[in-house]
Amino acid sequence: KAGVTQTPRYLIKTRGQQVTLSCSPISGHRSVSWYQQTPGQGLQFLFEYFSETQRNKGNFPGRFSGRQFSNSRSEMNVSTLELGDSALYLCASSLGGQVGSGNTIYFGEGSWLTVV
């Protein structure tokens, strides 16, 4: 079956603009989380959604937000973009409930965002 799908794969935005990234989880997966990857900070957790509710949140400013739809697809939005928001944004999905062997976390290929 198809893996985690993220769109768009690449995009360039200007400082001050906003951006929306989309994620379609693996079929049957109900939990979706988002991560930011940069050379300086590595992989950092943004937030996690399950059944359209945010269950966990990382230490990012309020400019970073997300949502999940009834079909488990998710979007994240970054408003008032800053140069430091340039990063690879990764989406991950799992079945939901207790993560563990047999219910692990799979990543998509990511969306490369460049802010100029």
- Which of 13-21, 60-68, 73-81, 103-111 is the region at the interface with other proteins (rule: CB under 8 A)? 103-111
CA neighbor of 62 nearest in space, from 80, 75, 42, 40? 80
CA neighbor of 46 nearest in space, from 31, 36, 32? 36
- Please give the distance of CA 71 from its chain centroid, rounded to a whole number: 16
Residue pair 10/111 in contact (Cβ under 8 Å)? The answer is yes
Residue 68 binding other proteins, by CB under 8 A: no
Residue 42 binding other proteins, by CB under 8 A: yes
What single letter denotes the amino acid at residue 54?
Q
- Of 23, 92, 113, 115, which one interacts with other proteins (CB under 8 A)? 92
Residue 28 binding other proteins, by CB under 8 A: no
The residues binding other proteins (CB under 8 A) are: 4, 31, 33, 35, 42-45, 48, 50, 55-56, 58, 90, 92, 94, 97-101, 104-110
